[in-house]
Structure 1
Amino acid sequence: MIALARAAAICAAANALSLAVAAWVFDRFDVRLGWFVVAVVLFTVLTMVLRGVVVSTVNRFARGYTIAGGLVLTLLVLVLTEVAVPRDGFSIDGWGTWVGVTLIVWAASVAFGEVDNVAPVAQRR
């Protein structure tokens, strides 16, 4: 339980940092402070849940699929977060912004994966 809380805290910190950097880099990515906290919490929960599902269903040796899947997963979670959070609190406009934000947040999640040494339940055999 403590390991899960630690992993969630590290994941939330990585997500907060990556979303803040992406908002700073891209003018068409708008995040308001109050909604930023909501977005980070929602993004973190969705990422951790969906990451667990993906990891438990994808062959560990399919690295190419894992990279593409990670990008798709990041994009999906960004879309779900944008749908759930009001537009005046969290909005991404333009395909270039979507691609850039996805890449920044995905890269942070890869870095998080290197720091997070708590293996998902499916890998603890």
Structure 2
Amino acid sequence: MIRFLIHILINLATAAIGLLLAGWIVPGVVLQPTGFVVAVVVFALAQGVLGPFVFNVARQYASAILGGIGLVTTLIALVIASMFDGGLEISGFMAWVGATLLVWIVTALGGWILGWLFITRRLGKGKGSKVAQ
């Protein structure tokens, strides 16, 4: 249960960081402070739910794009998050491309790094110390 909660917190944190960076770096991406939390939650939820679905669809019908599942999932999650007014607005083709790439890189690397840091290192030590007793 603790691992599950840590995964949720990591996904929310990396989504927030990715969206903030996209808003600061990518022209055409605008984040409204009033809807930022909603945009982060909707994005993280959409990405978490859509990941396995997109993977299964791609595996069945378009196995050539299996390597790009993270990018496709990130793009779809950005589209869904931008549908909610007052949070995330993306305008222009290059803004969509830039935001997708930047948010995907941040969420992927952040997920790996934070997952290793909090789950493998921190919780792994607790398990090792229990076995040694």
Structure 1 and Structure 2 fold alike (TM over 0.5): yes
Partner of 2:18: 18
* Aligned equivalents of 1:65, 1:112: Cα separation in 2: 23
* Percent identity over paired residues: 32
Please, which of 82, 98, 114 is the counterpart of residue 100 of structure 1? Answer: 98
1:78 equivalent in alignment to 2:86: no
SS in 1 for 2:27: coil
- Structure 2: unaligned runs, 5 residues or longer: 120-133
Q: Does 1:110 align with 2:97?
A: no
Larger helix proportion of the pair: 2
Work out the CA distance in 1 between the residues paired with 2:76 and 2:107. Answer: 14
The Cα of 1:52 is off from its aligned counterpart by: 3.6
Please tell me whether the aligned partners of residues 10 and 111 of structure 2 are also in contact (alpha carbons under 8 angstroms). no
Q: Secondary structure at the match of 1:27?
A: coil
| Partner deviation per Cα, 1:31-87 (whole Å, 9 max, x = no partner) | 11120110001111111122243456776xxx973431211111111001111x10x
Root-mean-square deviation (CA, aligned residues, Å) is 2.4
Map 1:59-74 onto structure 2 (within 5 A): 65-74=65-74
Comparing 43-52 and 8-17, the one that deviates more? 43-52
Q: What is the aligned partner in structure 1 of residue 125 from structure 2?
A: none
Does structure 1 conserve the Cα–Cα contact (< 8 Å) formed by 2:29 and 2:89?
yes
- Relative CO higher for 1 or 2, CA cutoff 8 Å, sep ≥ 6? 1
- Quote how far apart the aligned CAs of 1:97 are: 0.5
State the 1:4 CA deviation: 1.2
Cα distance in 2 for residues equivalent to 1:47 and 1:56: 14
Structure 1's unaligned 5+ residue stretches are 119-125
Deviation of the 1:112 alpha carbon: 3.3
Length, aligned pairs only: 113
Q: Write the distance in 2 (CA, Å) between the matches of 1:35 and 1:90.
A: 7
Please give the TM-score of this superposition, normalised by the length of structure 2: 0.73
